């Protein structure tokens, strides 16, 4: 009887070890449903502000926050892009709602801010969709970066136009009318400012 106990012990030990090996093999074949995508989205830097515009916008904190945060989106993973979408959207909304510079408070600039905000809202919505494809997220991030570059381009255009206006001796904002009395038919007509 004493010899049977060690023999039963070995049989039980062998049985449990065989079952454990089968369970381990079954677990190795299971695919992890929470595996993270390591695909990175890489884009070239877009248009940056010219020095005149950069000087004017240096005190606009909301713009600087978006500018600093969006730099991470030029080389970011899909997972990080979706995780940071909500923060990006809130920063762009704050920037859009806090235009402090009078020369930028015009419809053509505001439209670009609104379009950028709409695209960040779209990326934020994508973060809530479990079956969103990596390609769709990549395209949306590229679209957001292109729109941010367009915002900077429009800001640069506003300041370039302002610089040209300052260089000219004539006020280009005031409409002109032709002088009514031409001296001869070959003389160039002179312009004079319209008086209201």
Q: Give the tens place of pLDDT for each residue, 14-27.
A: 777 766 655 555 54
Percent of the chain with pLDDT over 90: 52
pLDDT tens-digit map of 100-118: 888 999 999 999 999 999 9
Task: Quickly count: other Cβ atoms within 10 Å of residue 154's Cβ.
Answer: 18
pLDDT tens-digit map of 127-137: 999 889 999 99
Residue 111 lies in a domain: yes
Percent of the chain with pLDDT over 70: 73
Average pLDDT over residues 76-90: 93
Residue 40 lies in a domain: no
pTM: 0.68
CATH number, domain with residue 59: 1.20.120
The domain tally of the chain equals 1
The H-or-E segment that residue 177 falls in is strand 176-178
Task: Quickly count: other Cβ atoms within 10 Å of residue 63's Cβ.
Answer: 24
Average pLDDT over residues 65-75: 92
Residue 184 lies in a domain: no
Average pLDDT over residues 37-60: 86
* Residue 182 pLDDT greater than 50, yes or no: yes
Residue 116 lies in a domain: yes
Residue-number span of the structural domain to which 90 is assigned: 53-167
Average pLDDT over residues 161-186: 66
Bridge-based pairing of strands 75-77 and 176-178 is: unpaired
Residue 109 lies in a domain: yes
Residue 44 lies in a domain: no
- Cβ contact 120:88 at 8 Å: yes
Residue 151 lies in a domain: yes
């Amino acid at each position: 009887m004493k010899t049977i106990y060690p023999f039963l012990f070995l049989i039980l030990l062998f049985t449990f070890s065989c079952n454990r090996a089968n369970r381990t093999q079954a677990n190795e074949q299971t695919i992890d449903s929470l595996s993270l995508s390591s695909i990175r989205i890489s884009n070239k830097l877009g248009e940056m502000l010219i020095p005149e515009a950069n000087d004017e916008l240096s005190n606009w904190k909301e713009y600087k926050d978006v500018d600093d945060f969006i730099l991470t989106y030029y080389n970011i993973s899909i997972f990080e892009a979706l995780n940071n979408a909500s923060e990006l959207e809130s920063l762009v909304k704050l920037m859009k709602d806090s235009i402090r510079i009078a020369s930028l408070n015009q419809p053509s600039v505001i439209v670009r801010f609104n379009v950028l905000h709409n695209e960040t809202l779209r990326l934020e919505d994508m973060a809530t969709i479990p079956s969103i494809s990596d390609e769709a997220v990549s395209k949306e991030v590229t679209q957001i970066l292109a729109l941010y570059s367009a915002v900077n381009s429009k800001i640069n255009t506003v300041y370039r136009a302002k610089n040209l206006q300052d260089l000219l001796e004539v006020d280009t904002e005031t409409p002109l009318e032709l002088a009514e009395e031409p001296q001869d038919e070959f003389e160039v007509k002179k312009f004079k400012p319209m008086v209201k």
